[in-house]
Each structure stands twice: as structure tokens, then as C-alpha cells.
Structure 1
Amino acid sequence: MTTDKLAESKAFYTQILNFGITFENEFYLLLHTPDKKTNLVFLLPNHPSQQPLFQEPFNGKGMFLTIEVDVIYEETKKKGVEIVIDIRDEVWGDRHFAIQDPNGIGIDIVRYSEPVTD
């Protein structure tokens, strides 16, 4: 994601979602999920070291992340994070809630399960 909110993104993902820092410098932030299986990258817009394709800033719309974890709802609330979609069970089996990062990205925190059939 190309954004001028590197510090805010770093704080959010490391303090709220327990991501780790793989690498960072003044214009680039590479994070990893707690299990180290997935990476997330943040880059300052219009940085001269990057090709034009990677310079356009993200506009905050049309993107969301889904993170499959055991539900951490109460822990997230205790950290003072605004819950955008309250915790709920869906008919297709998922239990989830949603929050939003400093860039406007919706984050769906989900525990996947089989649907309950009668």
C-alpha cells in the first residue's frame, strides 16, 4: 500500500494486530503476520526510488483485508479500537467482526467454520 501514514500503519498493525516488523526505513515498511506466513508492505507515495507504477497514493476505498484468527474481539475492544461491524455469527458458518486501519482499509477478523445445518 502506498500511503503517507507509515507511522500510523506501523502502530496499528504492530500494537493492535500483533504484526512484526521485517524491515523498515524512512520510506518503506515491511510487516509480517504473527505466524510469519504473510507480509504487508507500506510505501511512501511519490518516492524517487520507486518506479511511477508504485508512486500513486492509495485513496482509502475499494480494498479490505481478511485475517483468519481466533476471535480476538474482547482484546481489540480493550485496546480502544473502534469496532465497525460488531461481532456476529453468519449463516454460512463464519464468526467475525470488522475494524478499520488508519488508511481506511476495512479489516475483517474471522474464524472460519462449517455452516450449521439442521
Structure 2
Amino acid sequence: MNPIDISATIVVEDLDKARAFYTTHLNGRLIFDCGWYIGLQFGENGPTLHFMQPQSPDQPLYQSGLTYNIKLHDADEVDTAHADIVKAGLPVIMPLEDHPWGDRGFCTLDPYGVALYVYVDIEPSEEFRQYYL
């Protein structure tokens, strides 16, 4: 695996607090906001930080509520990474899929319970295209 970007997604109940704090105090710029998930970028081409609300009662809350987003170069690399994770016997808590919000990815856990979301960008569905700012 050769990541080209890693960013954190923090699971919180109230996105309004995160949205207000990071845009007001750290000059974060919203780059995605669909209501239950926001992405912020710091600086012109700087790092990003993401916040989301749990999406179902069955969705496990990750230890510390932290997910690292690990962006790879292309879909073949994501597929290979997924195969390697499965072969190693690591847990897959979200299967490898194309997601309507605009990525192909899967999720596993590190030894501490932090979720690792491995993905590559793809074209979002019409439903989610409207949320990109």
C-alpha cells in the first residue's frame, strides 16, 4: 500500500459545533457538506479534517470515534489493498464497494480499534454531486 493522502474523520453527535469552531477559529474552509458529513480544508491546498454523525444504530462507534481516511492512487490499488487485508485476516467492517458519495473503498481496524477507511475517488452519483462545494 502506498497512500497519497491520509486524513481523519471524527465521529460526533453535533456537527454544528465542529462546523462553527473550525471555520471560525482555524479558518477551515468547507469543501463538502451533506448534513451528516462535513469536510474542511486548511490553507489553499493544505490538510483536511472531516466530521460525521453515525449513520445507523448498527454502526459501531469506533474507539475514540476516530477514522483515518487513507487515499490511494487508483481502484486497482484499493482492490489489491482489500485483498491483502482479507488475506491477512484483519477485520473488514465495511465491505469493498463503490459509494454514491464519490469513492470506492472499504474499512478495517487497526490494533487499537481505530478505523482505517481505504479509498480512491470516483465520480459521485447525481444525488451526492450537489453536496460538493
TM-score, normalised on structure 1? 0.46
Higher share in helix = 2
Relative contact order, CA 8 A, sep 6+: which one is greater?
A: 2
Which one has a bigger Cα radius of gyration? 1
1 or 2, which has the higher strand percentage? 2
